[in-house]
Amino acid sequence: MRERLTLAFVVLAIVLLLGAGVVRTFVLRDLIQEQEAGHLRQEVELIGAIVDDREAAGGAIDERFLTTLVSTDRRLEYDPDRGPTVVVRGPDYAGTDDPQDDLAAVLAVSGARVTVSQSPQVASDIVGRDTGSIAALFVLIAVVAGIAGFLIASALSSPFQRLAVAAAALGRGRFDLELPRTRIPEARAISNALRASAHQLEDRVHRERDFAEHASHVLRTPLTGLRLELEDLTLRDDVPADVQESAARSLAAVEEVGAVAGELVELTRRGSLVAGSELPLVDLATQLAQRWADRLGVRSRSLTAAAEGDLSLTYTPGPVEHVTDLLLADVVRRGTGSVRIVFHGEEGGHLRIRVECEGHGRESHHGAEPLDRVAQVTSVVEALGGRVTGSHPADGIEVLLPRR
């Protein structure tokens, strides 16, 4: 987007400059022609006065005399009422040899007519002398327009680029979006829409987790009580055999209902957070390890990573990225030395993440209160239905996330 906007600025500047140059060329050519016509009138008046003086003195008006009067790029024609017409040309004259097609000025003197003319291309020649400087001006304006266009395009496209990154993060199931603050109405509208979508998805995750916990409690608790009652009934000696058989059959039905309830709750917990966004554990671990290896490398700290367990499991990357970012940000703030992170795919589909570093570091504070990343991790993980073990990266922090 930035490159296209920059190119648009350059093209627009050149087109406007060309348009202005064409209009200016026509105007300038007319001005030059008027100026040259004025010069011709002055020159023919001067020549007419000299010719009058020559005739008054009784001198001959011949080609030799007229040659001394004509300019290098002019044509001089002396047409007496009686006698042949005398025409002389300057050495640089390049006109049509026809005063009607040239720029010409005519003056009537005593007994004759004097005509001074020059090539009509003089205006184009004068304008064309500055072709090199005009080309240099075009290049300079194109460069300035490119720089200005790049700066303006960067300012205009930056919010949309950040919105694209935020939309991609939301598509991966991540809700902590870094949205730009901008005065561009369209960008603000998109930002508000993404924020609302993130809140709705996060609320959905919370409601589904609450539903799973509530369903597990509401369904399994009475079923467990009923199963105990039926088991007690089957074990009593004072109950007829047919009643015991009915109780046994009911106990089996209760077991089936309990199994179905457990499957429904587990299905709710394992459902994909964002359909189609899942990544295999190996790919997800590789991406996260590479990203944080670069960030830690700037601080002269190394990162080793491993993917273990069932590597064929797939996970929604957003929550895993969010949790991992918070954990490694805590490692940067409170830990020292090399860092190790292990992703382990459990048999039940859960993902276990363990982060540890070599030693304790000096903690930085923002304001009066310390920035508790572990509390943030705990809040995020519990909202997803997982749990966190450990409090300091030097001792190891372990996170257990559901498969979704």
Q: Which two tokens stand for residue 358?
A: 């070599």
Give Cβ neighbours of residue 241 (< 8 Å, ≥ 6 apart): none
- Give the pLDDT confidence score for residue 343 in this predicted structure: 92
Sheet hosting strand 103-109, strand order edge to edge: 86-89, 74-80, 112-118, 103-109
161-199 pLDDT, tens digit per residue, is 888 888 877 777 777 777 888 888 888 888 888 888 877
The C-alpha atoms of residue 351 and residue 256 are separated, in whole angstroms, by 29
264-309 pLDDT, tens digit per residue, is 666 655 555 555 567 888 888 888 888 888 888 888 889 999 998 8
First-to-last CA distance in the chain? 35
**Which amino acid is it at 202?**
E
* Selection from 280, 334, 357 nearest residue 312 by Cα: 280
* Selection from 369, 266, 355 nearest residue 305 by Cα: 355
The C-alpha atoms of residue 98 and residue 75 are separated, in whole angstroms, by 9
Give Cβ neighbours of residue 364 (< 8 Å, ≥ 6 apart): 333, 371
pLDDT along the chain (404 residues), means of 10: 73 78 74 79 86 80 83 84 84 80 82 84 65 75 80 80 80 75 83 82 71 68 77 77 80 78 63 64 88 86 89 83 86 88 86 88 54 79 83 88 76
Quote the mean pLDDT of the chain: 79
